[in-house]
Amino acid sequence: MSNHSSRSAQIFLGSLLCWLTIGDHAVSAASLTDIREQGRTMVKDAEEMVMHGGMGDGHAIVHHCAEVSKQAQSILKALPAADAHGKEAVPHLQDAIKHCARVAELGDKVDPGVSLNPAVKARAAAKEAMKHLLAMKDGGA
């Protein structure tokens, strides 16, 4: 891994650890529609990430996984604290972020088959989180 890629991975992982420590305490007033749209975008990026992995494009895997992580973090910050389905989505969103951190750590210079395993796990977590996001009701039922 090049020094630049290594440094980028270190910065990403440091930010991720900081966010995981304090991230679920911040709640914004995002609408349910916005949260679901972010979820759809996250799942789309997760699908593209795995598709590109199957084609051997390591750079695209890393790029799309960073997008999955960014969307998952945004959703976590926006989830209403009182919604049971939102609470059920949290561990899956955190798993997606964790697996994408592994992809970032591996970087785009490794054999794409190596990064495909955590990418597939991130996609599964994103899809499971989306099931819970779709089950959320206005007003946090």
Q: Is 40 among the domain residues?
A: yes
Supply the pLDDT for residue 26: 39
Residues 25-77 have pLDDT tens digits of 333 446 999 999 999 999 999 999 999 888 989 999 999 999 999 999 999 99
Please compute the mean of the pLDDT values over residues 85-95 and round it to a whole number.
96
Q: Is residue 140 part of a domain?
A: no
Decide: 49 and 122 in contact? Cβ < 8 Å: yes
Total of domains in the chain: 1
18 within domain boundaries: yes
- The CATH number of residue 23's host domain is 1.20.120.660
Positive/negative CA dihedral, 37, 27, 31, 125: positive
